[in-house]
Structure 1
């Protein structure tokens, strides 16, 4: 079990109360998705929500105490956002803001060379499909981005350097 932090528990409880529509004393699936977005900045997948529900609840909702425990575990498992961004920028070799299949394969060869290429390709395909469904994107899904200025390029290079350091630290 993750170590509980009273200060974080207070913020988790405030989010629980804000998301508990109708003050019913528990969060349903949609409430939980909103709570995760509020706390961690991303919308959890259906699989992640199913996993959270199956780990704690048999009644169809997650009570406050269960929510606090879940979010404590989740917080302890999360990499700091800056670290995530720095690691991502190492693999985003062309500073596009996304990984194409070649970038994805190179990343896996670097951090998990034992995983077969067909497994990596399947993971890329599934993630790409899920992102498109969640964003309502078309099948071609290609978006054009503005050219980044010099300042942005310098910032990304610094993130890449930090990300390389983090990766070497995590893979030792």
Structure 2
């Protein structure tokens, strides 16, 4: 038997509706830690924020080197916001997950997600004026993501906080 059952912990963590949810603590890059370890507080799920609040919270997390947690903030916006803005938030979530994988040393997954998010944002940029971008330089974020993907594939080590993009302003660079 696994040690978790011996310790009185259910074989699978479940939420109130019975869905599987890992109760294991996580580090700043979202990697699971052993039960009982000190982790980073997780982002609450399903929080509805105004777009400016979403960007401010995600930027705070990115700057702190916690892109996995920023992705969860973007995911909330993607799932709770207007359908017309879903691609914006989904693309930003993919950039955050790409940065997460890159910082974890997963070059293939990191580069793939950075490019996927860049493609989503580039598609929105081409549809100029269709939906708001809330002061973000989408073209700059696309350039940032594609350049980081190339560096990751070339073997560059990634520090999530040092590589965090600027969501507002110009160029996607910190």
Normalised by the size of structure 2, how large is the TM-score? 0.28
1 or 2, which has the higher helix percentage? Answer: 1
Larger Rg: 1
Greater relative contact order (CA < 8 Å, ≥ 6 in sequence): 1
